[in-house]
Amino acid sequence: MDTLPGSAPRRVDAIVVGAGLAGLYQLHRLRELGLSTRVFEAGDDIGGTWHWNRYPGARCDIESLSYSYSFSPELDQEWVWSEKYAGQPEILRYIHHVADRFGLREHITLRTRVTRAVYDEGDRVWEISTDTGETVTAPYVVMASGCNSTPKDPGVPGADSFAGPAYHTARWPREDVDLTGRRVAVIGTGSSGVQLVPVLAGRVAELTVFQRTPAYALPAHNRPLTEAEIAEHKAGYPEFRAAQRRSKGGSVVTMPTRSALEATEEERTAAYEAGWRSGVLSGLLRSFTDLLVDRAANETAADFVRGKIASIVTDSSTAEALMPRTFPFGTKRPCLDTGYYAAYNDPRVTLVDLNRTPIEEITPKGVRTSDQERVFDAIVFATGFDALTGALTSVEIVGKGGATLREKWADGPRTYLGLVSAGFPNLFTVTGPLSPSVLTNMMVSIEQHVEWITDCVAHLRAGGFTEIDATPEAEEEWGAHVAEMAAQTLYPAADSWYLGANVPGKARVFLAYVGGADRYRERCDAVARDGYEGFVLS
Ligand code: NA7
């Protein structure tokens, strides 16, 4: 290690970008391997998603017992989750516990954004630059910068002109935001908006929700975990973790065996009712085999959800506006609802359907739609992220021959297995584009990638290799396979962030691998077993 007097090392074995769940685990594994490693984190503390998204109501929508690291049986035994779905503060406490328990903090530089990474082909090292003026070199870089970590520009004219406080859910302030008795606007009704609205509704004087596309939201049935449940789970954790790793989506669930169209209407309704009662994000989608591949089958599930909305929301025109009709159920990420639809029965809550009256501009006083200007004390943007590629293309990454990742990905990301991009050797991405990532329990996909990357680095060092790069052919083949798999589903029918469709000008490419985490893991393992097939090691 090359250390300047009184400063952190400026030459290390590995650099990790991001100190969220992915970066922390990657740091732990590289340290175990004996690599000097530095982690750079833009935030003023660790936690990634769970550091930034501290808006009221922020909560995981994968069950706590599944959404946690599996690499340490001791950690599994000692940490106790309080609820079926942990809230943001509890998950953040867990992350801090992990950082302390595994001695990770001293390797992390906070409040420091990596702005540039340049590959030196002669020395075979990456030099990274930060917004604090540091430059550090390392043979390996791991981008653990998150899938939904770059907030999207809301793209509403006049957004900066509002005189009152404006917040983005993903940049919620640390200090308490007191909206009691205020007139508050929420723009956006994805997962963040759906979680935020019912919590705000109980606090503010008036809440106005601006909805462009209604979501399909399923009941979470969140509740405290009982001691008996926790004990049972802890006793079975080793088998449970093994089953998670073998599963298609990273959660241990029963997979369906028959088509929705083969079932009678009564059978379908019974299956959907069971899915609705299950309080699990994928519960309804897993009722039948063909809901994500057959439009008519999908419509039966979509109809069921619309019926539920009608049964919860008392005002029929509000209920009608809340019913999704423009995209198949499940092709945008479904949301988990804790009082979302019911919130619209509160006379203080108003829904504005932007399809009828689009937003024209944000004004100093509030929001002007095509029919009127509404006055607010605060505006909350729950408008989402430049998903999957935003955190990668916002860094100037310069690979072989001076090529930039941003230019290479102008028509959509090109990766081999979502782990690497050809021409950018020794630079890995955790849950990168074209891997299963956001279609799975992120914890399981993060661990799988971190472990694959760690094994790869160990293999390179043991074999005396200084460089690994994907071949353009392997990358091409993988990209075609990912696209072909997506095309067999209904996913492309929605203007979703899975496709980059939420960001104006972004290439419309399906950004995740739909083939399942189990199949994907087998492929990654086979690639490594076969001497890193599709890569050149030198
Ligand atoms: P999402 O799911 O991308 O939701 C963003 C919402 O904001 C969605 O309803 C958008 O409508 C809406 N939106 C975005 N821009 C605008 C403008 N300009 N005007 C009106 N409405 C707008 O982000 P979330 O934060 O809720 O969730 C992201 C994921 O993070 C979540 O699924 C978890 O995986 C973690 P649209 O649908 O684009 O019409």
pLDDT digits (tens, 9 = 90+) for 421-434: 999 999 999 999 99
Identity at 100, one-letter amino acid code: D
CA distance 213 to 367: 18
CA–centroid distance, residue 386 to ligand 1 (Å): 10
pLDDT in tens, 302-315: 999 999 999 999 99
CA distance 48 to 464: 34
- Are 32 and 169 members of one domain? no
Longest Cα separation, the chain: 75
- Are 431 and 521 members of one domain? yes
Q: Is residue 532 part of a domain?
A: yes
Q: Please name the residue whose Cα sits nearest to atom 10 of ligand 1.
A: 188
Kindly tell me if the per-residue pLDDT of 2 is higher than 60: no
CA–centroid distance, residue 362 to ligand 1 (Å): 18
228: CB partners within 8 A, 6+ apart? none
| Tokens read off for 130 | 């930060």
CB 349 within 8 A of CB 209: yes
Number of Cβ within 10 Å of residue 346's Cβ equals 13
- Are 174 and 188 members of one domain? yes
CA–centroid distance, residue 60 to ligand 1 (Å): 16
**31 closest CA partner among 418, 442, 450:** 450
Tell me 502's DSSP state.
Answer: T
Backbone phi, then psi, for 42, in 5-degree steps? -70, -35
CA distance 57 to 196: 5
pLDDT in tens, 28-62: 999 999 999 999 999 999 999 999 999 999 999 99
CB 75 within 8 A of CB 249: no
pLDDT attached to residue 5: 47
| Tokens read off for 323 | 């019913």
CA–centroid distance, residue 420 to ligand 1 (Å): 28
Q: Is residue 73 part of a domain?
A: yes
Q: Is residue 225 part of a domain?
A: no
CA distance 249 to 252: 8
- Are 63 and 201 members of one domain? no
Tell me 260's DSSP state.
Answer: T
Average pLDDT (445-454) is 98
CA distance 302 to 233: 33
- Are 484 and 413 members of one domain? yes
Among 369, 384, 399, residue at a domain's last position: 384
Share of the chain above pLDDT 90, in %: 97
DSSP H helix total and E strand total for the chain: 15, 23
Nearest atom in ligand 1 to the alpha carbon of residue 212 is 39
**460 closest CA partner among 536, 386, 527:** 536
Which pLDDT band, with edges at 50, 70 and 90, does 153 fall under? confident
Among 342, 363, 384, residue at a domain's last position: 384
CB 196 within 8 A of CB 186: yes
CA distance 64 to 97: 15
Mean pLDDT, the chain, rounded, equals: 97
Q: Which residues of 39-70 are buried (b: 16+ CB within 10 A; e: fewer)?
A: bbbbbebbbbbbbbbbbbbbbbbbbbbbbbbb
pLDDT attached to residue 472: 98
Nearest atom in ligand 1 to the alpha carbon of residue 49 is 35
Which residue out of 191, 355, 356, 360 has the highest number of ligand 1 atoms within 8 Å of its CB and is therefore the one to mutate? 191
CA–centroid distance, residue 117 to ligand 1 (Å): 30
Q: Please name the residue whose Cα sits nearest to atom 30 of ligand 1.
A: 148
- Are 438 and 497 members of one domain? yes
Q: Is residue 424 part of a domain?
A: yes
CA–centroid distance, residue 125 to ligand 1 (Å): 38
CA distance 415 to 463: 24
- Are 530 and 400 members of one domain? yes
Identity at 482, one-letter amino acid code: V
Token look-up 């505006």 returns: 379
CA–centroid distance, residue 483 to ligand 1 (Å): 23
CA distance 217 to 279: 11
CB 85 within 8 A of CB 60: yes
- Are 208 and 351 members of one domain? yes
pLDDT in tens, 331-380: 999 999 999 999 999 999 999 999 999 999 999 999 999 999 999 999 99
Q: Is residue 400 part of a domain?
A: yes
CA distance 256 to 308: 22
pLDDT in tens, 175-215: 989 999 999 999 999 999 999 999 999 999 999 999 999 99
CB 284 within 8 A of CB 218: yes
- Are 509 and 418 members of one domain? yes
* More confidently predicted of 3 and 479: 479
Nearest atom in ligand 1 to the alpha carbon of residue 381 is 7
Which pLDDT band, with edges at 50, 70 and 90, does 401 fall under? very high
Beta-bridge mates of residue 126: 119, 138
Nearest atom in ligand 1 to the alpha carbon of residue 191 is 26
20: CB partners within 8 A, 6+ apart? 46, 47, 48, 49, 50, 51, 95, 144, 146, 149
Among 351, 384, 417, residue at a domain's last position: 384
Q: Please name the residue whose Cα sits nearest to atom 31 of ligand 1.
A: 191
pLDDT attached to residue 318: 98
Kindly tell me if the per-residue pLDDT of 1 is higher than 90: no
Average pLDDT (57-76) is 97
Q: Is residue 236 part of a domain?
A: no
Task: Kindly tell me the burial class for residue 310, based on how many C-beta atoms sit within 10 Å of its own C-beta (0-12, 13-18, 19 or more).
Answer: middle
- Are 367 and 463 members of one domain? no
Residues with CB under 6 A from ligand 1: 148, 154-156, 169, 187-193, 210, 212-213, 333, 354, 359, 382-385, 438, 497, 502
Range of the domain at 345: 158-215+333-384
CA distance 121 to 261: 57
Backbone phi, then psi, for 16, in 5-degree steps? -115, 135
Nearest atom in ligand 1 to the alpha carbon of residue 192 is 26
- Are 142 and 6 members of one domain? yes
pTM of the prediction? 0.97
Segment holding 458, helix H or strand E: helix 442-463
Q: Please name the residue whose Cα sits nearest to atom 32 of ligand 1.
A: 191
- Are 370 and 468 members of one domain? no
Q: Please name the residue whose Cα sits nearest to atom 37 of ligand 1.
A: 213
CB 330 within 8 A of CB 285: yes
214: CB partners within 8 A, 6+ apart? 189, 321, 322, 323, 324
Q: Is residue 474 part of a domain?
A: yes
Q: Which CATH number do you get for residue 7? A: 3.50.50.60
The number of folded domains in the chain is 2
CA distance 377 to 445: 41
Q: Is residue 247 part of a domain?
A: no
Kindly tell me if the per-residue pLDDT of 4 is higher than 80: no
